[in-house]
Structure 1
Amino acid sequence: MTLNCTIVDYGSGNLFSVMESLKRCNASPILSSDPDSVANADRLILPGVGAFGRAAEQLRATGLDAAVLRYLERERPFLGICVGMQLLMETGEEFGVHRGLGVFEGTVSKIAAEREDGKPERVPVIGWNTPREAFPNSFDGTPFATAGPGAAYYFVHSFAVQCASKAAAIAVTDVGTTQVTAAIARDHIFGVQFHPERSALDGQSFLAGFLQL
Protein backbone atom coordinates (compact mmCIF):
# COMPACT_ATOMS: atom_id res chain seq x y z
CA MET A 1 0.00 0.00 0.00
CA THR A 2 1.32 3.45 -0.92
CA LEU A 3 0.83 6.08 1.76
CA ASN A 4 0.35 9.80 1.24
CA CYS A 5 2.51 12.05 3.40
CA THR A 6 2.61 15.83 3.13
CA ILE A 7 5.81 17.78 3.84
CA VAL A 8 5.31 21.40 4.91
CA ASP A 9 7.21 23.69 2.53
CA TYR A 10 7.82 26.95 4.39
CA GLY A 11 11.37 27.56 3.19
CA SER A 12 13.20 25.58 5.88
CA GLY A 13 14.42 22.00 6.03
CA ASN A 14 15.95 19.24 3.95
CA LEU A 15 12.80 18.99 1.86
CA PHE A 16 14.07 16.85 -0.98
CA SER A 17 16.09 14.56 1.28
CA VAL A 18 12.94 13.92 3.29
CA MET A 19 10.97 13.29 0.09
CA GLU A 20 13.50 10.76 -1.21
CA SER A 21 13.61 8.95 2.12
CA LEU A 22 9.82 8.67 2.17
CA LYS A 23 9.79 7.31 -1.38
CA ARG A 24 12.17 4.56 -0.30
CA CYS A 25 9.59 3.67 2.36
CA ASN A 26 6.94 3.19 -0.37
CA ALA A 27 5.26 6.48 0.50
CA SER A 28 3.94 9.08 -1.91
CA PRO A 29 5.30 12.38 -0.52
CA ILE A 30 3.60 15.67 -1.32
CA LEU A 31 5.46 18.96 -0.91
CA SER A 32 2.99 21.73 -0.08
CA SER A 33 2.93 25.39 0.91
CA ASP A 34 -0.87 25.58 0.64
CA PRO A 35 -2.48 26.03 4.08
CA ASP A 36 -5.63 24.07 3.20
CA SER A 37 -3.65 21.14 1.81
CA VAL A 38 -1.47 21.10 4.93
CA ALA A 39 -4.44 21.29 7.30
CA ASN A 40 -6.22 18.41 5.53
CA ALA A 41 -3.27 16.09 4.96
CA ASP A 42 -3.36 12.37 5.81
CA ARG A 43 0.07 12.54 7.46
CA LEU A 44 2.22 15.59 8.03
CA ILE A 45 5.94 16.23 8.42
CA LEU A 46 7.35 19.59 9.50
CA PRO A 47 11.08 19.71 8.70
CA GLY A 48 13.45 22.47 9.73
CA VAL A 49 17.04 23.65 9.76
CA GLY A 50 18.74 26.81 10.99
CA ALA A 51 17.65 29.18 13.73
CA PHE A 52 14.37 28.81 15.65
CA GLY A 53 13.32 32.45 15.29
CA ARG A 54 13.81 32.57 11.55
CA ALA A 55 11.91 29.31 11.05
CA ALA A 56 9.02 30.52 13.23
CA GLU A 57 8.90 33.78 11.28
CA GLN A 58 8.76 31.95 7.95
CA LEU A 59 6.03 29.63 9.19
CA ARG A 60 3.86 32.57 10.27
CA ALA A 61 4.57 34.65 7.18
CA THR A 62 3.14 31.89 5.00
CA GLY A 63 0.11 31.26 7.21
CA LEU A 64 1.29 27.69 7.71
CA ASP A 65 1.48 28.01 11.49
CA ALA A 66 -2.32 28.07 11.71
CA ALA A 67 -2.56 25.30 9.11
CA VAL A 68 -0.31 23.02 11.20
CA LEU A 69 -2.41 23.69 14.31
CA ARG A 70 -5.60 22.94 12.36
CA TYR A 71 -4.05 19.68 11.21
CA LEU A 72 -3.12 18.67 14.75
CA GLU A 73 -6.72 19.14 15.88
CA ARG A 74 -7.69 16.30 13.53
CA GLU A 75 -5.56 13.81 15.51
CA ARG A 76 -3.60 12.41 12.60
CA PRO A 77 0.10 11.40 12.61
CA PHE A 78 2.56 14.28 12.76
CA LEU A 79 6.36 14.34 12.77
CA GLY A 80 8.53 17.38 13.45
CA ILE A 81 12.19 17.03 12.44
CA CYS A 82 15.01 19.03 14.12
CA VAL A 83 13.83 22.68 14.19
CA GLY A 84 10.45 21.31 13.12
CA MET A 85 10.31 19.60 16.51
CA GLN A 86 11.57 22.67 18.35
CA LEU A 87 8.80 24.82 16.84
CA LEU A 88 6.26 22.71 18.73
CA MET A 89 7.42 24.33 21.97
CA GLU A 90 6.15 27.58 23.50
CA THR A 91 9.37 29.55 23.04
CA GLY A 92 12.87 29.32 21.61
CA GLU A 93 15.86 31.22 22.98
CA GLU A 94 18.14 31.28 19.93
CA PHE A 95 19.17 34.90 19.13
CA GLY A 96 16.51 36.25 21.50
CA VAL A 97 13.24 34.81 22.75
CA HIS A 98 10.82 33.79 20.01
CA ARG A 99 7.29 32.37 20.13
CA GLY A 100 6.71 28.82 18.92
CA LEU A 101 3.49 26.95 18.20
CA GLY A 102 2.87 26.14 21.87
CA VAL A 103 1.79 22.54 21.26
CA PHE A 104 4.06 21.40 24.11
CA GLU A 105 4.84 23.36 27.27
CA GLY A 106 8.48 24.31 27.55
CA THR A 107 11.27 26.08 25.71
CA VAL A 108 14.30 25.49 23.49
CA SER A 109 17.59 26.59 25.04
CA LYS A 110 21.29 26.40 24.25
CA ILE A 111 23.06 23.21 25.26
CA ALA A 112 25.41 24.02 28.14
CA ALA A 113 27.35 20.77 28.05
CA GLU A 114 30.44 19.75 29.91
CA ARG A 115 32.72 16.72 30.08
CA GLU A 116 33.40 14.54 33.12
CA ASP A 117 36.42 16.70 33.97
CA GLY A 118 34.17 19.77 34.10
CA LYS A 119 35.55 21.33 30.93
CA PRO A 120 33.07 22.52 28.26
CA GLU A 121 31.92 20.04 25.64
CA ARG A 122 32.12 21.32 22.08
CA VAL A 123 28.76 22.49 20.75
CA PRO A 124 27.14 22.28 18.18
CA VAL A 125 26.52 18.58 18.37
CA ILE A 126 27.39 17.05 15.01
CA GLY A 127 27.39 13.32 14.45
CA TRP A 128 25.78 9.99 15.24
CA ASN A 129 24.15 9.02 18.50
CA THR A 130 21.80 6.35 19.85
CA PRO A 131 18.82 7.77 21.75
CA ARG A 132 17.60 5.79 24.75
CA GLU A 133 14.23 5.59 26.46
CA ALA A 134 13.61 8.53 28.78
CA PHE A 135 11.53 6.29 31.04
CA PRO A 136 10.49 2.60 30.96
CA ASN A 137 8.63 1.61 27.76
CA SER A 138 8.64 5.17 26.38
CA PHE A 139 9.38 3.78 22.89
CA ASP A 140 6.27 1.57 22.85
CA GLY A 141 3.84 2.55 20.12
CA THR A 142 6.29 5.02 18.56
CA PRO A 143 8.47 4.88 15.41
CA PHE A 144 11.40 3.96 17.67
CA ALA A 145 9.82 0.56 18.16
CA THR A 146 10.25 -0.17 14.45
CA ALA A 147 13.86 0.99 14.30
CA GLY A 148 14.91 -0.90 17.43
CA PRO A 149 16.63 0.22 20.66
CA GLY A 150 20.17 0.22 19.22
CA ALA A 151 19.44 2.44 16.21
CA ALA A 152 21.76 5.39 15.61
CA TYR A 153 20.73 8.71 14.09
CA TYR A 154 22.47 11.82 12.77
CA PHE A 155 22.29 14.94 14.95
CA VAL A 156 23.21 18.56 14.12
CA HIS A 157 22.16 21.09 16.77
CA SER A 158 23.27 23.63 19.36
CA PHE A 159 19.90 24.02 21.11
CA ALA A 160 17.72 21.42 22.82
CA VAL A 161 14.11 21.11 23.94
CA GLN A 162 13.33 21.56 27.63
CA CYS A 163 9.89 20.04 28.29
CA ALA A 164 7.79 21.20 31.23
CA SER A 165 6.34 17.69 31.48
CA LYS A 166 8.71 14.74 31.89
CA ALA A 167 6.17 12.51 30.15
CA ALA A 168 6.54 14.54 26.93
CA ALA A 169 10.22 13.69 26.43
CA ILE A 170 10.33 10.06 25.31
CA ALA A 171 13.99 9.83 24.24
CA VAL A 172 17.21 11.32 25.55
CA THR A 173 20.84 11.33 24.56
CA ASP A 174 24.05 12.60 26.12
CA VAL A 175 26.28 15.51 25.17
CA GLY A 176 29.26 15.11 27.44
CA THR A 177 27.75 14.72 30.91
CA THR A 178 24.63 16.68 29.95
CA GLN A 179 21.42 14.81 29.10
CA VAL A 180 19.39 16.37 26.30
CA THR A 181 16.00 15.61 24.78
CA ALA A 182 16.19 13.58 21.56
CA ALA A 183 12.45 13.10 20.95
CA ILE A 184 9.08 14.22 22.25
CA ALA A 185 5.62 12.73 21.83
CA ARG A 186 2.00 13.03 22.81
CA ASP A 187 -0.74 10.90 21.28
CA HIS A 188 -0.34 11.25 17.48
CA ILE A 189 2.32 13.97 17.65
CA PHE A 190 6.04 13.15 17.43
CA GLY A 191 9.15 15.29 17.24
CA VAL A 192 12.79 14.28 16.86
CA GLN A 193 15.96 16.33 17.23
CA PHE A 194 17.88 14.15 14.79
CA HIS A 195 17.51 13.87 11.01
CA PRO A 196 16.01 10.49 10.04
CA GLU A 197 16.38 11.44 6.36
CA ARG A 198 20.16 11.59 6.90
CA SER A 199 20.42 8.53 9.13
CA ALA A 200 20.84 5.70 6.59
CA LEU A 201 18.94 2.46 7.23
CA ASP A 202 18.05 3.26 10.84
CA GLY A 203 16.51 6.52 9.69
CA GLN A 204 14.57 4.66 7.01
CA SER A 205 13.25 2.28 9.65
CA PHE A 206 12.16 5.18 11.82
CA LEU A 207 10.28 6.83 8.95
CA ALA A 208 8.71 3.50 8.04
CA GLY A 209 7.48 3.26 11.64
CA PHE A 210 5.97 6.72 11.38
CA LEU A 211 4.17 5.76 8.18
CA GLN A 212 2.64 2.76 9.94
CA LEU A 213 0.94 4.88 12.60
Structure 2
Amino acid sequence: MIAIIDYGAGNIKSLQSALSRLDIPSLLTTSKNEIEKADAIILPGVGAFAEAMKQLEKLGLVSLLKSEASKNKPFLGICLGMQMLYETSDEGGECPGLGLFKGKVRLIPDIVKVPHMGWNDLQIKQNVPLLNGIREGSHVYFVHAYFAAEGDTENLVADTAYGVRIPAVVQQGNVFGIQFHPEKSGSIGLQILKNFGELIS
Protein backbone atom coordinates (compact mmCIF):
# COMPACT_ATOMS: atom_id res chain seq x y z
CA MET A 1 0.00 0.00 0.00
CA ILE A 2 1.29 3.47 -0.95
CA ALA A 3 0.43 6.36 1.35
CA ILE A 4 -0.22 9.54 -0.69
CA ILE A 5 0.24 12.49 1.67
CA ASP A 6 -3.03 14.44 1.49
CA TYR A 7 -2.08 17.85 2.87
CA GLY A 8 -4.18 19.97 0.50
CA ALA A 9 -1.58 20.81 -2.16
CA GLY A 10 -2.44 19.52 -5.61
CA ASN A 11 -4.70 17.38 -7.71
CA ILE A 12 -3.94 14.12 -5.95
CA LYS A 13 -7.09 12.36 -7.16
CA SER A 14 -5.61 12.08 -10.67
CA LEU A 15 -2.44 10.61 -9.19
CA GLN A 16 -4.43 8.05 -7.24
CA SER A 17 -6.46 7.26 -10.36
CA ALA A 18 -3.23 6.59 -12.31
CA LEU A 19 -2.05 4.20 -9.58
CA SER A 20 -5.44 2.46 -9.64
CA ARG A 21 -5.12 1.89 -13.41
CA LEU A 22 -1.83 0.13 -12.65
CA ASP A 23 -3.46 -1.98 -9.90
CA ILE A 24 -1.18 -0.36 -7.31
CA PRO A 25 -3.09 0.07 -4.02
CA SER A 26 -2.91 3.52 -2.46
CA LEU A 27 -4.69 5.69 0.07
CA LEU A 28 -4.90 9.43 0.61
CA THR A 29 -3.92 10.12 4.19
CA THR A 30 -2.39 12.36 6.83
CA SER A 31 -2.70 9.67 9.52
CA LYS A 32 0.63 9.01 11.23
CA ASN A 33 -0.40 5.42 11.87
CA GLU A 34 -1.32 4.77 8.21
CA ILE A 35 1.87 6.44 6.96
CA GLU A 36 3.99 4.29 9.26
CA LYS A 37 2.19 1.13 8.13
CA ALA A 38 2.43 1.97 4.41
CA ASP A 39 4.92 0.13 2.20
CA ALA A 40 5.84 3.35 0.35
CA ILE A 41 5.12 7.08 0.44
CA ILE A 42 4.33 9.64 -2.25
CA LEU A 43 4.56 13.35 -1.42
CA PRO A 44 2.77 15.19 -4.23
CA GLY A 45 2.14 18.90 -4.56
CA VAL A 46 1.57 22.04 -6.59
CA GLY A 47 1.60 25.59 -5.27
CA ALA A 48 3.81 27.52 -2.86
CA PHE A 49 6.71 25.87 -1.02
CA ALA A 50 6.40 27.81 2.25
CA GLU A 51 2.66 27.24 2.53
CA ALA A 52 3.06 23.52 1.83
CA MET A 53 5.78 23.15 4.47
CA LYS A 54 3.63 25.09 6.94
CA GLN A 55 0.78 22.67 6.30
CA LEU A 56 3.03 19.64 6.86
CA GLU A 57 4.22 21.22 10.12
CA LYS A 58 0.63 21.91 11.20
CA LEU A 59 -0.25 18.25 10.59
CA GLY A 60 2.81 17.11 12.54
CA LEU A 61 4.23 15.29 9.52
CA VAL A 62 7.66 16.85 8.99
CA SER A 63 9.59 14.73 11.51
CA LEU A 64 7.50 11.67 10.62
CA LEU A 65 8.32 11.92 6.89
CA LYS A 66 12.02 12.33 7.68
CA SER A 67 11.87 9.29 9.95
CA GLU A 68 10.03 7.14 7.40
CA ALA A 69 12.48 8.13 4.66
CA SER A 70 15.34 6.92 6.89
CA LYS A 71 13.80 3.41 7.08
CA ASN A 72 14.67 2.40 3.50
CA LYS A 73 10.97 2.74 2.55
CA PRO A 74 10.44 3.85 -1.09
CA PHE A 75 9.64 7.59 -0.95
CA LEU A 76 8.70 9.68 -4.01
CA GLY A 77 8.32 13.46 -4.15
CA ILE A 78 6.43 14.81 -7.18
CA CYS A 79 6.72 18.40 -8.50
CA LEU A 80 6.50 20.62 -5.38
CA GLY A 81 6.90 17.39 -3.43
CA MET A 82 10.33 16.93 -5.05
CA GLN A 83 11.33 20.50 -4.20
CA MET A 84 10.33 19.96 -0.56
CA LEU A 85 12.93 17.18 -0.33
CA TYR A 86 15.67 19.84 -0.45
CA GLU A 87 17.13 21.93 2.36
CA THR A 88 15.68 25.32 1.46
CA SER A 89 13.67 27.24 -1.13
CA ASP A 90 13.74 30.92 -2.16
CA GLU A 91 10.01 30.88 -2.84
CA GLY A 92 8.26 33.46 -0.66
CA GLY A 93 11.49 34.17 1.23
CA GLU A 94 13.96 31.52 2.31
CA CYS A 95 12.10 28.57 3.80
CA PRO A 96 13.45 25.25 5.11
CA GLY A 97 12.38 22.00 3.44
CA LEU A 98 12.65 18.40 4.59
CA GLY A 99 16.41 18.35 4.03
CA LEU A 100 16.50 14.83 2.59
CA PHE A 101 18.63 16.17 -0.29
CA LYS A 102 21.35 18.79 -0.01
CA GLY A 103 20.67 21.89 -2.06
CA LYS A 104 18.45 24.88 -2.68
CA VAL A 105 15.35 25.53 -4.78
CA ARG A 106 15.37 28.75 -6.84
CA LEU A 107 13.18 30.57 -9.37
CA ILE A 108 13.74 29.62 -13.02
CA PRO A 109 15.70 32.52 -14.63
CA ASP A 110 13.49 34.87 -16.67
CA ILE A 111 15.46 34.22 -19.84
CA VAL A 112 12.53 31.88 -20.59
CA LYS A 113 8.80 32.13 -19.90
CA VAL A 114 8.02 31.37 -16.26
CA PRO A 115 6.28 29.21 -15.15
CA HIS A 116 7.56 26.32 -17.22
CA MET A 117 4.43 24.61 -18.57
CA GLY A 118 4.50 21.88 -21.17
CA TRP A 119 6.28 18.84 -22.56
CA ASN A 120 10.05 18.48 -22.37
CA ASP A 121 12.42 15.62 -23.04
CA LEU A 122 14.36 13.67 -20.43
CA GLN A 123 18.12 13.50 -20.72
CA ILE A 124 19.05 10.41 -18.71
CA LYS A 125 22.28 10.55 -16.70
CA GLN A 126 21.98 7.30 -14.75
CA ASN A 127 20.21 4.01 -15.30
CA VAL A 128 18.10 3.38 -12.21
CA PRO A 129 15.08 1.08 -11.57
CA LEU A 130 12.70 4.08 -11.46
CA LEU A 131 13.41 4.68 -15.17
CA ASN A 132 13.24 1.05 -16.34
CA GLY A 133 11.76 1.03 -19.85
CA ILE A 134 12.15 4.82 -20.28
CA ARG A 135 14.12 5.85 -23.34
CA GLU A 136 16.46 8.81 -23.65
CA GLY A 137 14.48 11.79 -25.01
CA SER A 138 11.10 10.60 -23.69
CA HIS A 139 8.73 13.54 -23.17
CA VAL A 140 7.00 14.31 -19.87
CA TYR A 141 4.77 17.15 -18.69
CA PHE A 142 6.09 19.96 -16.46
CA VAL A 143 4.26 22.72 -14.56
CA HIS A 144 6.58 24.70 -12.25
CA ALA A 145 8.30 28.02 -11.67
CA TYR A 146 11.02 26.88 -9.24
CA PHE A 147 13.63 24.16 -9.61
CA ALA A 148 16.42 22.44 -7.69
CA ALA A 149 19.20 24.81 -8.68
CA GLU A 150 21.77 23.54 -6.23
CA GLY A 151 22.25 19.91 -5.32
CA ASP A 152 24.68 17.00 -5.35
CA THR A 153 25.39 15.99 -8.95
CA GLU A 154 25.63 12.32 -7.95
CA ASN A 155 21.91 12.40 -7.10
CA LEU A 156 20.97 13.59 -10.61
CA VAL A 157 19.27 10.82 -12.60
CA ALA A 158 17.77 12.86 -15.48
CA ASP A 159 17.38 16.49 -16.44
CA THR A 160 15.81 18.67 -19.11
CA ALA A 161 16.68 21.99 -20.77
CA TYR A 162 14.50 25.03 -20.11
CA GLY A 163 16.72 28.08 -20.19
CA VAL A 164 18.94 26.23 -17.73
CA ARG A 165 19.39 22.55 -16.93
CA ILE A 166 16.40 21.52 -14.80
CA PRO A 167 16.82 18.42 -12.62
CA ALA A 168 13.89 16.22 -13.62
CA VAL A 169 14.63 13.01 -11.68
CA VAL A 170 16.81 12.72 -8.59
CA GLN A 171 17.57 9.82 -6.26
CA GLN A 172 19.33 9.28 -2.98
CA GLY A 173 18.98 5.69 -1.87
CA ASN A 174 15.30 4.96 -1.36
CA VAL A 175 14.23 8.60 -1.82
CA PHE A 176 13.26 9.81 -5.31
CA GLY A 177 12.11 13.14 -6.70
CA ILE A 178 10.51 13.90 -10.06
CA GLN A 179 9.87 17.50 -11.12
CA PHE A 180 7.24 16.64 -13.75
CA HIS A 181 3.75 15.21 -13.30
CA PRO A 182 3.68 11.48 -14.10
CA GLU A 183 -0.13 11.39 -13.98
CA LYS A 184 -0.16 13.96 -16.84
CA SER A 185 2.67 12.37 -18.82
CA GLY A 186 0.83 9.59 -20.64
CA SER A 187 2.41 6.15 -21.00
CA ILE A 188 5.85 7.41 -19.88
CA GLY A 189 4.45 8.71 -16.60
CA LEU A 190 2.50 5.51 -16.02
CA GLN A 191 5.64 3.44 -16.60
CA ILE A 192 7.52 5.50 -13.99
CA LEU A 193 4.70 5.03 -11.47
CA LYS A 194 4.68 1.29 -12.28
CA ASN A 195 8.43 1.16 -11.69
CA PHE A 196 7.99 2.91 -8.34
CA GLY A 197 5.33 0.39 -7.35
CA GLU A 198 7.74 -2.42 -8.19
CA LEU A 199 10.28 -1.05 -5.70
CA ILE A 200 7.95 -2.12 -2.88
CA SER A 201 9.29 -5.34 -1.41
TM range (shorter): over 0.9
Corresponding residue number in structure 2 for 1:171:
158
Q: 1:36 to 1:66 in 2, by over 3 A?
A: farther
* TM-score, normalised relative to structure 2: 0.94
Cα deviations across residues 152-190 of structure 1 (Å, max 9, x unaligned)? 1110011100243111121111013x2111121011111
In the alignment, does 2:92 pair up with 1:60?
Answer: no
Alignment length (residue pairs)? 199
Corresponding residue number in structure 2 for 1:70:
67
In the alignment, does 2:122 pair up with 1:131?
Answer: yes
Instruction: In structure 1, list runs of 5 or more residues that go unmatched.
Output: 114-119
Question: What is the rounded CA distance, in whole Å, between the counterparts of 1:151 and 1:210 in structure 2?
Answer: 17
Question: What is the rounded CA distance, in whole Å, between the counterparts of 1:189 and 1:146 in structure 2?
Answer: 20
**Residue in structure 1 matching 2:181, options 168, 191, 195:** 195
Question: What is the rounded CA distance, in whole Å, between the counterparts of 1:129 and 1:56 in structure 2?
Answer: 28
Question: What is the rounded CA distance, in whole Å, between the counterparts of 1:45 and 1:121 in structure 2?
Answer: 30
CA contact (8 A) 1:39 1:70 kept: no
Which secondary structure state, in structure 2, belongs to the residue aligned with residue 12 of structure 1?
coil
Question: What is the rounded CA distance, in whole Å, between the counterparts of 1:59 and 1:38 in structure 2?
Answer: 13
AA matched with 2:19 = L
CA contact (8 A) 2:42 2:77 kept: yes
AA matched with 2:77 = G
AA matched with 1:167 = E
Question: What is the rounded CA distance, in whole Å, between the counterparts of 2:100 and 2:41 in structure 1?
Answer: 15
Which stretches of structure 1, 4 residues or more, deviate above 4 A after TM superposition? none
How far residue 62 of structure 1 moved from its aligned partner, in angstroms, is 0.4
**Residue in structure 2 matching 1:158, options 130, 136, 145:** 145
Corresponding residue number in structure 2 for 1:117:
none
How far residue 83 of structure 1 moved from its aligned partner, in angstroms, is 0.5
Corresponding residue number in structure 2 for 1:24:
21
CA contact (8 A) 2:45 2:79 kept: yes
CA contact (8 A) 2:128 2:157 kept: no
Percent sequence identity over matched residues? 36
AA matched with 1:9 = D
Corresponding residue number in structure 2 for 1:183:
169
Which secondary structure state, in structure 2, belongs to the residue aligned with residue 162 of structure 1?
strand
Instruction: In structure 2, list runs of 5 or more residues that go unmatched.
Output: none
Deviates more, 1:86-95 or 1:62-71: 62-71
Question: What is the rounded CA distance, in whole Å, between the counterparts of 1:203 and 1:11 in structure 2?
Answer: 22
Q: 1:76 to 1:146 in 2, by over 3 A?
A: farther
Question: What is the rounded CA distance, in whole Å, between the counterparts of 1:184 and 1:9 in structure 2?
Answer: 22
Question: What is the rounded CA distance, in whole Å, between the counterparts of 1:195 and 1:37 in structure 2?
Answer: 24
CA contact (8 A) 2:83 2:105 kept: yes
RMSD: 1.3
AA matched with 2:122 = P
1:107-122 → structure 2 map (5 Å cutoff): 107-113=104-110, 120-122=111-113
Question: What is the rounded CA distance, in whole Å, between the counterparts of 1:147 and 1:180 in structure 2?
Answer: 18
| Structure label with greater radius of gyration | 1
